[in-house]
Amino acid sequence: MSIHHQSEFEGMQKASEAVAVTLKEMREYAKTGMTTKDLDIYGAKRLSEFGAKSAPHATYGFPGWTCICVNNEFFHGIPSDRRILKEGDLVNIDVSAELDGFWADNGGSFVLGKDIHHHQTLVRISKEILKKAIEHIRDGVRIADIGGLIEAEAKKNGFKVVKNYGGHGVGRALHQEPLDLLNYRDPFDKRVFRKNSVVAVEVFISTDSIYGTTLRDGWTVIGDKGGFMAQQEHTMIVTDEHPFILTDMNGILNE
């Protein structure tokens, strides 16, 4: 989506507020002993209070309202009444929704409680990399160059990136052009970021795997070589300078 009118900007702001506040409050609500289904139901309630509809549920028939991954799960984790959150778990929550015809997306990984399994460095580096990527995004910058920056920063810190998933355009649908905003440099990708376009930029920083593989449930993705992954995601509008971060109120980069 490209923003051309004030009404579009305001529509994206409202949709982004819904997903950002829901993500922030789900992170705060998460406690040891609760199930991921409990956490998902809380997120669904907050979205509905904004008048927003879950994007994965509405678009793809996802069996939950938000995607919640724990430990070795990378993407699209199905909320379950059998999955109980424990101290030190690496948790990822991805919240996307539609509100009045506008769609927004954001997500973040965090350590629940004390960092007894030593995941905090992975989480911290993933945040630093997203922040650095955002600092370099502006009109005319090559999409592949941002992917290259993300991979270079991950390698510099002893991590890898997941290569078969990426960010995407968003706004009038959950996934729009430009698709495949990858976490590595594709030398054949000549596309550039365009002013006023709305994009969901995501980093996927992993300890061992560079590809995600889907489990038999048809949704949950884990790493091809195991290990752990931290994701951080913001929806933003590309400008001539620093992007306007629509989901900034989720606070994932302010901790």
In order of their start, the domains of the chain are 6-250 (3.90.230.10)
pLDDT single digits (tens) 17-45:
999 999 999 999 999 999 999 999 999 99
Q: Helix, strand or coil for residue 27?
A: helix
Is the model's pLDDT at 255 over the cut of 90? no
For tokens 């699209």, the residue is 76
Q: Sorting pLDDT into bands at 50, 70 and 90, what band is 135?
A: very high
Q: Are 146 and 134 in contact, with CB atoms under 8 Å apart?
A: no
For residue 255, the tally of other CB atoms under 10 A from its CB is: 10
CB-count exposure of residue 81 (10 Å: 0-12, 13-18, 19+): exposed
What average pLDDT does the chain have?
A: 98
pLDDT value for 48: 98
Is residue 229 classed as helix, strand or coil in its secondary structure? strand
Q: What is the pLDDT of residues 40-65, one digit of tens each?
A: 999 999 999 999 999 999 999 999 99
* Strand positions, DSSP E, the chain: 53-54, 67-70, 73-75, 90-99, 102-111, 160-161, 166-169, 176-182, 198-206, 212-214, 221-223, 229-237, 244-245
Q: The pTM is what?
A: 0.96
Could you tell me if 25 and 73 are in contact, meaning their C-beta atoms sit under 8 angstroms apart? no
Contact by Cβ (8 Å): 207, 76: no
Percent of the chain at pLDDT exceeding 70: 100
pLDDT of the residue at 71: 98
Residue 227: is its pLDDT beyond 80? Answer: yes
Residue whose C-alpha is closest to residue 247's, from 94, 145, 43, 133: 94
**Band of pLDDT at residue 211, cut at 50, 70 and 90:** very high
Torsion of CA 96, 180, 242, 98, to 10 degrees: -20
Q: How much is the pLDDT for 234? A: 98
The per-residue pLDDT for range 78-104, each reduced to its tens digit, is 999 999 999 999 999 999 999 999 999
**CA 89 – CA 158 distance, rounded (Å):** 21
